[in-house]
Amino acid sequence: MIQVDNLSFKYGNHVILDHLSFQIDTGGLYALMGPNGCGKTTLLRCIARLANPQEGRVLVDGKDVKDYDIRGLAQRIAMVRQQTIPDFEFPAYDIVMMGRHPYQHRLQASTEEDLHIVETAMQTTHTWHLRNHVPSQLSGGEMQRVMIARALAQQTPIMLLDEPTSNLDIAHQLEIMQLLQSINRTEGKTILIVVHDLNLALRFCPQSLLLYQGHLFFNGNSLEALTPQHISHVFGVEASLTDGFLHYERPYAG
């Protein structure tokens, strides 16, 4: 379970997150949505303790993330960042093996268990055949699946993903979302995904969080979150829902 309690974050005098309070239930699959600059990435970073809020706190399983040591928190939360191309040319297999670092001691060789976990993660994400490829040899979709495999190898109950479908074509967007949905259903992981495509969120994520100007606008069922009224208020466009599919019409003039 993730609990966000009265969380506020700002850069200088610029408020990014303004007193957010909400709960993400264990085993839930949540979409995090909102217009550019509303604080989605900052919220993920605060949950993962990559950014320190000026007010409030984040609890994971009832414990403040500040009270976890680095190894302990890395055994609870795995994060797939928006920028998926590493600055190094390690083979995909070695990149996925990095997910085992929270369980290894310094200079310790990988155990048979580590090897099995990494292979299973790569088989699950359909990247095992790419294990000897370096990032420059991988497509955007392949690299994204490798990074998800690394998060799986980390064996955390919580996964945070920042726009995992950005810059991917439609087929690869569906592939990534289907993969995450399958991981959620089969492994029971709590997954929070920053999503820009509202139809992807509506199709794959049962629950949604809507951020607007640094505030939590809605937290609940995705069908109730993504109504034409909410979309016009948060995103400034008119929309209609037909047969479970959202159609965007024009900027909201209200």
pLDDT at 252: 61
* pLDDT greater at residue 107 or residue 119: 119
pLDDT at 254: 58
pLDDT bucket at 89, cuts 50 / 70 / 90: confident
Read off the pLDDT of residues 47-74 as tens digits, 9 standing for 90 and up. Answer: 999 999 999 999 999 999 999 999 999 9
Round to whole Å and give the CA distance between 185 and 178: 11
Beta bridge partner(s), residue 251: 237
Mean pLDDT of the chain: 93
Beta bridge partner(s), residue 10: 15
pLDDT at 181: 97
Residue 253 has a CB neighbour count (10 Å cut-off) of 7
Round to whole Å and give the CA distance between 184 and 157: 10
For the whole model, what pTM was predicted?
A: 0.93
Element (H, E) at 196: none
pLDDT at 250 over 80: no
Q: How many CA atoms are closer than 13 Å to the CA of 55, on its beta-carbon side?
A: 11
What phi and psi values does residue 51 have, to the nearest 5 degrees?
-140, 145
pLDDT at 251: 74
